[in-house]
Structure 1
Amino acid sequence: MSDTPRPDAPPPEGPAPAAPTPGVTVVVATRDRAEELRGSLRKHEAPVIVVDNASGDATPDVAAEAGARVLRLPDNRGAAARNTGAEHADTPYIAFADDDSWWAPGALRRAVEILDAHPRTALLAARVLVGPEERTEAVSEEMACAPLGRPADLPGPAVLGFLACSAIVRRDAFLAAGGFSDVLHFAGEEELLALDLAAAGWGLAYVPELVVHHHPSRSGRDPSARRRREARNRLLTAWLRRPLPAVARTAASLLATPDGRAGAAEAARLLPALLRARRPLPPAVEAARARLARY
């Protein structure tokens, strides 16, 4: 574990960061993304914990040089590495970021104010601006008009999903819900956590005044493999939390593409082993999830 920067670390590029935002820690899970971290870490206005998924490059050293606390895992836990970061944080709120994303100036401070004022809210989903052109991410646009209404005790439209790189959570609620699933590993891992938070009675809200910048990495990762993993995790999430007719509909929807079929086949091999982990949603949460499927 590397908790302090190396004494020979180069000076930071650009203007000095703002004073750290109290009450929140930024957690970044990463693997083999040294260059991306070099450009993003100093932009966060809060202490940063980087959880390294057994990188083979200089990722841990770059993170330490940027002033982050580095937790080195012996193997790749994927998205569930964020759980380790949250466990080691000592703040009431955890803001997640990817190695190629960062919270806009002032966004974390405002998010803390909003969470303080809305005690039933466990998660805020920020608006994501993609690339130098700052195009609004499609998922953000979908959340802005989600058909779940805006309960009086939430600070924005209610949602049952989010992008992990742009979410801030109440640490205790996140850990009590089990965090991100080791079974899903990565790609589409957010829905299961969103459903579990809602099932525990927590609210999740989209708050577009909070902004996250995402400059997607250009490093070579297989988009087809990601689509297969997303399809796999859609079916696994349905199996773990939704009624069997919804599981069947999810499986059928994946058969239209080769990647969908491959992902469904991967999931099918795991379903029997996960039978005891099935935990159907409360009726109100299932009704809300079904409403989203019809939207």
Structure 2
Amino acid sequence: MSSSARPGDPIPGDVAVVVMSQNRREDLLATLPRHEAPVVLVDNASTDGTVEAVRAALPEVTVVPLESNVGSYARTLGVERAGTEFVAFADDDSWWAPGDLARAVEVMRAHPRLAVLNARILVGPEERLDSFCTELARSPLGTPEDLPGPALLGFIACGAMVRTEAFLAVGGFDPVVRFPGEEERLSLDLAAAGWGIAYVDGVTVHHHPSTRRHAPEQRRTAIWRSRLLTAVMRRPWPEVGRLVLTAVRTGPERRGLLRALRELPAALRRREPIPESVRADLRVLAEAAA
């Protein structure tokens, strides 16, 4: 992808970086100065002095402290606070490569239907391409003429730029699904509304995973919780039933199901099944993965 943006170019005033975090003070102090646009940090009720430390060391950062952990809904609050036309998401352990926020804005402006741009994500000091990006680049949905790269029905939030208009129109990240796996429901709703999501290999995000991470089994349980709640909100009941049957067979999935039960009433209140056109794309993805 060609672009006139270069490292060090001024960043358009219509983009901000929104970061959500909890109890990762040292990670934030290292990564926040790397962002080349105004930053909104939404803190999910940290107890390690994050808010005070960031305010003292980086007064230019807008810090939004929350009284409780609302998961990825914190990003929605950050987007509303930023008030910019575009928002780039980053985690406390990720940042956009020099010049690439400006490049991403150019791509978004050139493709008005594009709601989410998923950047190439390089992991760790060794700069290893995230394996999920390899899958995104091979999306069987192809590359429509009005999108800058392969069409998607999902993305990686720590390396994505969103069009605020589209993001907020479908509710942003919600307080039910929380984290992780929060991208699925948002992606389905954007597709249902006619917006596009695309992978753009010419824009880069660096991700150096924090040492303060949940154990793999805990994360798997949380992902299944999100998957089940998203299904209740957006999938036909037969598909929900099949997913529940899969979940009861093994430990992490079963625990995810039990955790989802607490949010079931809230998910049911938000239930609005996706149209057949989006379900058809999901079938294409499922067949390609089989």
Question: What's 1:63 paired with?
Answer: 54
- Tell me whether 253-262 or 103-112 shows the greater mean CA deviation: 253-262
Q: What's the counterpart of residue 195 of structure 2?
A: 202
CA drift at 1:266: 2.3
**Higher mean C-alpha displacement, 105-114 vs 264-273:** 264-273
What is the match of residue 21 of structure 1? 11
| Counterpart pick for 2:268 among 271, 275, 280 | 275
Deviation at 1:274, TM superposition (A): 2.9
Return the alpha-carbon distance in structure 1 between the equivalents of residues 198 and 106 of structure 2: 14
Residue type of the alignment partner of 2:233: L
Pair 150,244 (structure 1): closer, same or farther in 2 beyond 3 Å? same
Question: Does residue 35 of structure 1 match 2:23?
Answer: no
Q: Distance in 2 between matches of 1:77 and 1:271?
A: 16
Matched, 1:189 2:179: no
* RMSD (CA atoms): 1.6
Whole-Å separation in 1 of the counterparts to 2:209 and 2:281:
31
User: How much does 1:100 deviate?
Assistant: 0.3
Distance 2:94 2:119 in 1: 12
Distance in 1, Cα, partners of 2:182 & 2:29:
26
Is the 2:44–2:66 Cα contact (8 Å) retained in structure 1?
A: yes
Q: How far apart in 2 are the matches of 1:18 and 1:253?
A: 50
250-259 or 115-124: which moved more? 250-259
Q: Which residue of 1 aligns with 2:41?
A: 50
Confirm whether residue 213 of structure 1 aligns to residue 206 of structure 2: yes
* Unaligned 5+ runs, structure 1: 1-16
Check conservation: 2:176, 2:267, Cα contact below 8 A: no
Partner of 1:177: 170
C-alpha deviation, 1:265, in angstroms: 2.6
User: What residue is the counterpart of 2:221 in the other structure?
Assistant: 228
Offset, 1:176: 1.1
Q: Distance in 2 between matches of 1:175 and 1:44?
A: 23
What percentage of residue pairs aligned between the two structures are identical? Answer: 53
Alignment pair present for 1:159 and 2:149: no
CA distance in structure 1 between the partners assigned to 2:8 and 2:64 by the alignment? 24
Report if the CA contact (8 A) 1:20-1:47 is conserved.
no
Q: How many residues align?
A: 279
Question: Any conservation in 2 of the 1:80–1:182 contact (CA below 8 Å)?
Answer: yes
Structure 2: gaps (5+ residues) = 1-6
Deviation at 1:220, TM superposition (A): 5.1
Deviation at 1:275, TM superposition (A): 2.5
Q: 2 CA distance for matches of 1:74 and 1:275?
A: 26
CA contact (8 A) 2:9 2:99 kept: no
Secondary structure of residue in 2 paired with 1:287: helix
Contact 2:176 2:263 in 1 (8 A): no
Q: What is aligned with 1:136?
A: 129
- Measure, in 2, the Cα distance between the counterparts of 1:19 and 1:150: 29
Equivalent residues in 2 for 1:234-253, closer than 5 Å: 234-253=227-246
- Bigger shift: residues 217-226 or 230-239: 217-226
- Determine if contact 1:50/1:63 at 8 Å carries over to the other structure: no
Cα distance in 2, alignment partners of residues 188 and 197 from structure 1: 16
1:294 paired with 2:287, answer yes
> C-alpha distance in 1, partners of 2:191/2:170?
10
Once the two structures are TM-superposed, the CA of residue 224 in structure 1 deviates from its matched residue by 2.2
